[in-house]
């Protein structure tokens, strides 16, 4: 799909078997990253998603004692897979590897994991017809002197009429947000730091399988599932974490990797309260509703990738890169559209709404060839509560403030905490897990 064609490339350096973004070298000396670490304390990690699992992976390589507390019944966070729906496993969460110039790209190459490029041509549902090109240029959201206004407002300022609303919604949806919420200025500013590469890749199996085999399997014995953290007391030298069953866990260092929605919700009580600048920063980082709906058909009547739907702004052929393959179309629903579909109340109602839209686009072929559907609604997942982070209007330096550690004891990781332009991605989450382990090492030396 090549959705990041406007993003600048940068060089990455490989060391110690890992690809490390050059930004890390601005704050860490090379020898600090890889020399032996003398620490006999315990690190507690909250959240067994990509950031938490990778942080654990690095800690284990250094022989440091750690434990991961995970609220749900399965590890992986916003990675997940489902089998039995089609004759290939489907990715319930993250599905595309966005560029290979990153830690995970290096690991994919070393492990000979099978991936294939997804270079699907974009089609547009525009004025009630499917077209390959639009009358007006829509590549307007990058460049110099961009204002801090929403994508929706800026599209109107640039002369795109109401007929472009759902095209713009599809573009914003790829960034995890409704067009009325995503900042033109801050999204562009953050994307300028992207160094991973422009191409998108699909896994022959699933993203979850790759991550599970290469990373999670090495630390899974230290993951404690079904453990909902309710309180973090960092008022003393030893951190005390309490779960919903009133069990306590002690640690010298704590890495928090939960989604930004959980941090904003107040589900975790901090003692003492977190600094106000920290909670203000959390509030400025966006994360909207999101769901994936998989639709299986008896024949492939649809285009590979198309945007502009009023019910779902983006659809993608889920067969790409899969062997063997059924005819599975993915409805990738974000923001206000995901909120609307969630409000319908049932998977069957969501499916019917999507089929009606596809029937209008393809002359009734959707309903005629429909076999079954599977709905993964991340909005209603109690420990996720949405899709992934995005750049809000008025965001400022919220991510940088949000990532700052507290008292050299509490550290923050996760895709929303990536300040190098790789937020919204698995490899971006991994980078933050790695970064915070390094920050722990640095603080130990001070």
Tell me the pLDDT tens digit for each residue of 42-93. 999 999 999 999 999 999 999 999 999 999 999 999 999 999 999 999 999 9
State what percent of residues in the chain have pLDDT above 90. 90
pLDDT at 16 over 70: no
Q: What is the pLDDT of residue 324?
A: 82
In a domain, residue 131? The reply is no
Q: Which of 120, 165, 99 is nearest to 138 (CA)?
A: 165
Tell me the pLDDT tens digit for each residue of 221-269. 999 999 999 999 999 999 999 999 999 999 999 999 999 999 999 999 9
pTM for this model (two decimals): 0.92
In a domain, residue 103? The reply is no
In a domain, residue 197? The reply is no
Mean pLDDT of 188-206: 94
Distance CA 55, CA 45 (A): 8
Q: What is the pLDDT of residue 30?
A: 37
The DSSP annotation for 104-123 comes to HHHHHHHHT--EEE--PPEE
pLDDT at 411 over 90: yes
Contacts of 382 (CB under 8 A, 6+ apart): 71
**How many CA atoms lie within 13 Å of 172's alpha carbon, on the beta-carbon side?**
33
The count of other CB atoms within 10 Å of the CB of residue 247 is 11
Give how many domains the chain has, as a whole number. Answer: 1
Mean pLDDT of 365-373: 98
Please answer whether residues 411 and 253 qualify as being in contact, where contact means their C-beta atoms are separated by less than 8 angstroms. Answer: yes
In a domain, residue 376? The reply is no
- Arithmetic mean of pLDDT over the chain: 92
Q: What is the pLDDT of residue 26?
A: 35
In a domain, residue 419? The reply is yes
Which residues constitute the domain of residue 50? Answer: 12-77+208-284+397-445
Q: With cut-offs at 50, 70 and 90, classify the pLDDT of residue 2.
A: very low
Distance CA 432, CA 350 (A): 35
pLDDT at 20 over 80: no
State what percent of residues in the chain have pLDDT above 70. 92
Please answer whether residues 412 and 403 qualify as being in contact, where contact means their C-beta atoms are separated by less than 8 angstroms. Answer: yes
In a domain, residue 60? The reply is yes
Residue 287 corresponds to which tokens in the numbers above? Answer: 């994360």
The three-state secondary structure class of 398 is helix
Tell me the pLDDT tens digit for each residue of 235-247. 999 999 999 999 9
Distance CA 428, CA 416 (A): 9
Mean pLDDT of 294-320: 97
Angle at 177 between CA 107 and CA 293, to 5 degrees: 70
Mean pLDDT of 373-383: 97
Distance CA 327, CA 307 (A): 19
Distance CA 379, CA 387 (A): 7
Give me the residues paired with residue 254 across strands: 44, 410
Q: What is the pLDDT of residue 445?
A: 84
Q: What is the pLDDT of residue 173?
A: 95
Tell me the pLDDT tens digit for each residue of 91-134. 999 999 999 999 999 999 999 999 999 999 999 999 999 999 99
Residue 119 corresponds to which tokens in the numbers above? Answer: 């270079």
pLDDT at 436 over 70: yes
In a domain, residue 68? The reply is yes
Q: With cut-offs at 50, 70 and 90, classify the pLDDT of residue 7.
A: very low
pLDDT at 9 over 80: no
CATH number at residue 221: 3.50.50.60
Q: What is the pLDDT of residue 35?
A: 65
Q: What is the pLDDT of residue 178?
A: 96
Please answer whether residues 307 and 122 qualify as being in contact, where contact means their C-beta atoms are separated by less than 8 angstroms. Answer: yes
In a domain, residue 109? The reply is no
The DSSP annotation for 133-189 comes to S-SS----SSSSS--SSBHHHHHHHTT--GGGHHHHHHHHHTTTS-TTTBBHHHHHH
What angle, rounded to 10 degrees, do the helices at 165-173 and 335-343 form?
90
Q: With cut-offs at 50, 70 and 90, classify the pLDDT of residue 377.
A: very high
């Amino acid at each position: 799909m090549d959705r990041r064609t406007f993003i600048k490339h940068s060089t990455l350096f490989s060391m110690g078997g890992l690809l490390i973004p050059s930004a890390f070298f601005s704050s860490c000396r090379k020898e600090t990253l890889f020399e032996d670490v003398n620490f006999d304390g315990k690190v507690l990690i909250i959240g067994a998603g990509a950031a938490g699992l990778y942080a654990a992976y690095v800690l284990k390589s250094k022989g440091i004692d750690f434990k991961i507390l995970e609220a749900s019944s399965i590890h992986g966070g916003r990675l997940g897979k489902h089998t039995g729906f089609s004759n290939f496993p489907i990715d319930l969460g993250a599905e595309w590897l966005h560029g290979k110039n990153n830690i995970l790209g290096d690991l994919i190459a070393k492990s000979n994991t099978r991936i294939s490029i997804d270079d699907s041509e974009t089609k547009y549902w525009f004025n009630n017809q499917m077209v390959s090109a639009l009358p007006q240029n829509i590549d307007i959201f990058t460049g110099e002197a961009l204002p801090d206004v929403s994508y929706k407002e800026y599209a109107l300022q640039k002369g795109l009429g109401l007929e472009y609303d759902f095209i713009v919604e599809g573009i914003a949806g790829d960034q995890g947000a409704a067009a009325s919420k995503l900042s033109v200025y801050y999204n562009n500013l953050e994307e300028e730091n992207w160094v991973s590469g422009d191409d998108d890749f699909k896994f022959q199996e699933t993203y979850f399988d790759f991550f599970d085999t290469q990373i999670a399997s090495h630390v899974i014995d230290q993951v404690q599932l079904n453990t909902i953290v309710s309180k973090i007391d960092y008022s003393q030298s030893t951190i005390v974490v309490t779960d919903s069953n009133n069990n306590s866990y002690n640690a010298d260092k704590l890495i928090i990797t939960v989604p930004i929605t959980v941090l904003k919700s107040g589900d975790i009580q901090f003692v003492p309260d977190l600094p106000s600048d920290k909670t203000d920063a959390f509030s400025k980082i966006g994360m909207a509703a999101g769901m994936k709906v998989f639709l299986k058909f008896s024949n492939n009547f649809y285009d590979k990738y198309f945007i502009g739907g009023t019910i779902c702004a983006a659809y993608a052929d889920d067969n790409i890169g899969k062997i063997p393959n059924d005819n599975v179309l993915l409805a990738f629903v974000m923001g206000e559209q995901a909120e609307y579909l969630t409000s319908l109340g049932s998977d069957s109602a969501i499916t019917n709404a999507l089929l009606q839209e596809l029937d209008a686009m393809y002359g009734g072929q959707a309903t005629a060839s429909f076999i079954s559907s599977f709905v993964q609604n991340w909005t209603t997942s109690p420990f996720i509560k949405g899709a992934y982070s995005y750049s809000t209007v008025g965001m400022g330096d919220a991510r940088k403030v949000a990532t700052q550690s507290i008292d050299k004891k509490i550290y923050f990781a996760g895709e929303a905490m990536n300040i190098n332009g790789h937020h919204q991605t698995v490899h971006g989450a991994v980078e933050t897990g790695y970064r915070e382990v390094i920050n722990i090492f640095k603080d130990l030396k001070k």
